[in-house]
Structure 1
């Protein structure tokens, strides 16, 4: 629920809470005033008639438009000094239920005789007053509700326009363009503070992004240059006369240089992924890229005599940058080969909803989900630099693809879900692949089920 609706509902709730209370107070005051006014009027009529009796005049049967009854007092004992007030709302003698009768009985002594003077009148009953006020209340609440919702939306176009403009600009803000955030001027103090904070925040983000990007690019260039020089020197040294011990040392140095170069390239790629430099709105034919990557690794599969089975749907399109798709599949397949057993197996499944690669291998010595962290790796391979699955995780995060790692019955399985909303369903229903029979002695077997 947006802010405008919350404020409107809150205001209407206050009206609904206060209005019945104010209506009850108004009803009580109105009823009391009506009764008191009529009682005072009847008293004055009785007093007027009593004065006529004391002067020996014959009073009229009616006075001030009200019926008057004058009878000799038949009671015994002390004559009441205060008038009697009788208030009845009974449906008798043809009196309507919509009216209540107020009767005032006064007692006066004139010419040694005591008289009872009675006058009465009809006023609107309590129920009728309440019904009238309830009708007015319902109309008032409906009118207030309609006016609040209509005027709130009209005013929001002007009062909340800077806020909505700021939200839209934040959604469209792209740090890679390095353009400052453009916001509408406003006279509202709160929106002024918000705009100032957003400008400072985005300007600082652009500045930090520029610094990090320049640093990573400079660091990459500066690191690769001495690595290339060292490698060329090692190659020149290897061409000279060296003994076996020196050759082993040069091999170790070369392996370390290669590893350092891979780490540098991987860290640069992670930085670019964090900076969202691979955004795309087009869908890629994922099954085609996956087939090309497998063909590129055919020699690696043959070296370890790994049997590969592939079960893929036709025309699988996924919204992902082509470079990221190739890096993702390269990392997953090279990981499955590197951590596989001699004469092991790899099973690949591809549908429009998920991609799964499974391989045989030794059990991991740490929880499988921790292997997605940077420089985390199991102990079965010392060749890994510990960044392959971290890159996989980052690519999936950039494209909002949930990724899950399972190990069961000697099989490592990594599943990438293309539909974030259905990942839980597929995760709960997916099962580990059954070991497949080896086909071929040296060359890997490709089962293209398209």
Structure 2
């Protein structure tokens, strides 16, 4: 097994030698009809007894050397060109194959790419290192996936039991008002913990790309189907629709698309004013959800960050917009925030 340098030099040497052999007749003709031309004229004049013609051996020698040098340089350039275009392509073929296999590799497949065996030791070494690195990442991915799922389930059970016990306590007839307030506050805390656990699990699954079931969905129809549910928790805030297209089809995971719309509407409710309005606009390639607000413009650099909350008075765990951003990244969509005429606007562009 040779190194890449040895392999390249060997191929270049062989290529140059072959081209030199092919150009040997050219050197022969150059010597016969250029260097020996004056010598032939002298010999013929001596045979015929005629005066010896004037010759310039020094000039002919100089011009001949220049011609030979030019031919040699031409041969080397041709060899280098062949080496770069043809031979190099053959030598680097295993490396190109490795790049293609890495480009098509995905952790979600949970399988190692099979790299081709090469007779160049550097490429084999590269493939070996990549295989070990991918194996390590696959193990880490599986462990993280299992931990996320196990941790979520392990937390859900005690939280559910805790909430059930609190429900039983609240139903006790001899519970004092102070005790009832304490139990009620604990119940609210446990509810926030349950929602936080659910949101963190959702984010982890999105980051791990565990939502593999994709289908063609109509954003218009899905939004209209969700409106009765969305109106149920708007708390007096009215929802105004502006559907500018009959249908808007996208390829997406249905659970995630529903979560995206739900989180944007919930965010619009929480950041609204009393008896305010929510505006849902659907354009040929966009979904826009806006809301009236007494707040000023939010920080565009932080609005999609996890646990970011514009005010402590706002309910929620600060993960809603982070989930929206993660869902958009998962599908290859774009989302941006704008503030116009005392309205917070979130614009989802479905064109990749």
TM-score class normalised by the smaller sequence:
0.7 to 0.9
Which of the residues 259, 268, 276 maps onto 2:201? Answer: 268
Q: TM-score if structure 2 supplies the norm length?
A: 0.77
Match of 1:190 in 2: 122
- Tell me the distance in 2 between the aligned counterparts of 1:351 and 1:131: 74
Match of 2:86 in 1: 151
The question of whether the paired residues in 2 share the 8 Å contact of 1:162 and 1:186 is answered with yes
* CA 166–286 in structure 1, closer or farther in 2 if over 3 Å, else same: same
The question of whether the paired residues in 2 share the 8 Å contact of 1:353 and 1:417 is answered with yes
Residue correspondence of structure 1 range 349-428 to structure 2 within 5 A: 349-364=281-296, 367-379=299-311, 381-420=313-352
* CA 152–351 in structure 1, closer or farther in 2 if over 3 Å, else same: farther
* CA 287–380 in structure 1, closer or farther in 2 if over 3 Å, else same: farther
Over aligned residues, Cα RMSD in angstroms? 3.7
Which of the residues 192, 195, 217 maps onto 1:284? Answer: 217
> Is 1:121–2:71 an aligned residue pair?
no
- Which of the pair has more CA radius of gyration? 1
The question of whether the paired residues in 1 share the 8 Å contact of 2:215 and 2:252 is answered with yes
Q: TM-score if structure 1 supplies the norm length?
A: 0.62
- The structure that is helix-richer by fraction is 2
Contiguous gaps of at least 5 residues in structure 1: 1-6, 16-25, 46-61, 70-118, 421-450
The question of whether the paired residues in 2 share the 8 Å contact of 1:341 and 1:361 is answered with yes
* CA 163–413 in structure 1, closer or farther in 2 if over 3 Å, else same: same
The question of whether the paired residues in 2 share the 8 Å contact of 1:404 and 1:415 is answered with yes
* CA 245–364 in structure 1, closer or farther in 2 if over 3 Å, else same: farther
The question of whether the paired residues in 1 share the 8 Å contact of 2:306 and 2:318 is answered with yes
* CA 142–291 in structure 1, closer or farther in 2 if over 3 Å, else same: farther
Deviation at 1:381, TM superposition (A): 4.0
Match of 2:3 in 1: none
- Tell me the distance in 2 between the aligned counterparts of 1:338 and 1:137: 81
Match of 2:176 in 1: 243
Match of 1:335 in 2: 267
* CA 230–162 in structure 1, closer or farther in 2 if over 3 Å, else same: same
* CA 279–221 in structure 1, closer or farther in 2 if over 3 Å, else same: closer
Match of 2:4 in 1: none
- Tell me the distance in 2 between the aligned counterparts of 1:170 and 1:329: 35
- Tell me the distance in 2 between the aligned counterparts of 1:295 and 1:196: 57
- Tell me the distance in 2 between the aligned counterparts of 1:65 and 1:406: 103
* CA 174–120 in structure 1, closer or farther in 2 if over 3 Å, else same: closer
- Tell me the distance in 2 between the aligned counterparts of 1:329 and 1:144: 63
